[in-house]
Amino acid sequence: MDSSKRKFLALSGLTVASTLYGSEKDEVNNITVKKSKSNNALIPVTTKPRVVILGGGWSGLSIAKTITSLSPQADVVLVEKRHEFISCPVSNLWLVDKVNLDYITHDYLQAARNYNYTYFNATAIGVDKKNRILKTSEGDIAFDYLALSPGIDYDYSRWTNDVSLISRLKQEYPAGFIPGSEHLTLKNKIHNFKGGNFILTVPGGNYRCLPAPYERACVIADYFKQKKLKAKVIILDENNAVTIKKKGFMSAFDNLYSDYIEYVPNSTIESIDLDNKIVTTEMDEFKFDDASFYPRVRGAKIIETMGFPKDAKDMLEGHINPITYEVIGEKDIFIA
């Protein structure tokens, strides 16, 4: 490559870099590009007290709606990485075609217009506590109050620390409790199932939506029953009994779906062999033809990144005052 082409490419690269990152002196080519003075997000400046809400799930949306309704003098910004809201509640019915996708999918922009707040599509990457700034993939947002509602993350560590296995579990056998692609994958599994054993797991500890795994087992069993499949839903429950509404669920297992559901409590998983499709618990081995593995849950990792979690035995949930939801030691920062 001749020198003129090299100089052109260098200049082109620096022009792009100047747009993205600001100024630097290139001593080799003797070129200076101007540096941006700010990494502020593209949100209008306000003189009102600004409340920034991270997370557009049920909690975050409820907080945004409530604040704008009760405190119209506040400037409210909802930061959410997804482009549309997909509800986890009611999604079990969608899995078996009892409701359509439109019923559980909603528009963040419409909600923001309805309740007079700003929806900002970005991923949070950290917080500057001293200067009261939420750092996101789309720039910095100054706040007077910060409410964190980022949801959950999965914790596979009680099953395995093998990164390759964890990756396969997430991609091939997703839990289906974080809305979006997981639900689409699970629905395809159910509708394409030809027969055999379909394993569902119920995690121990406090997990998202206590009745949902049992309810899901029932709707899947009902779907298999309607299709007259030679199939069984095996529920491997880490708990010693159904955690909520026990009488109703056990009645469904034993009466409505006795030929289609096998409920196994005290099922602490020791290993999962995806190649041979075998789950080993403390008491037994279970072969499966397909599955959805719901591991234990933990507080969202962004809470840990920001330095606000309890320790691991408390599932890395937010370290908050349980009455006010304010982070211990941090004024006007809340986790809900």
Would 50-151+300-335 and 154-297 be classified into the same CATH topology? yes
Segment 81-97 mean pLDDT = 97
pLDDT band at 315 (very low <50, low <70, confident <90, very high): confident
Distances (CA, A) of 231 to 227, 247, 251, 284, 332: 10, 24, 19, 20, 53
| Confidence (pTM) | 0.86
List pLDDT tens digits, range 157-173. Answer: 999 999 999 999 999 99
CATH number given to 50-151+300-335:
3.50.50.60
List pLDDT tens digits, range 32-86. Answer: 444 445 699 999 999 999 999 999 999 999 999 999 999 999 999 999 999 999 9
User: Residue 184, exposed/middle/buried by CB under 10 A (0-12, 13-18, 19+)?
Assistant: middle
Domain ranges within the chain, ordered by starting residue: 3-33, 50-151+300-335, 154-297
CATH number given to 154-297:
3.50.50.60
List pLDDT tens digits, range 141-159. Answer: 999 999 999 999 999 999 9
Predicted pLDDT at 37: 55
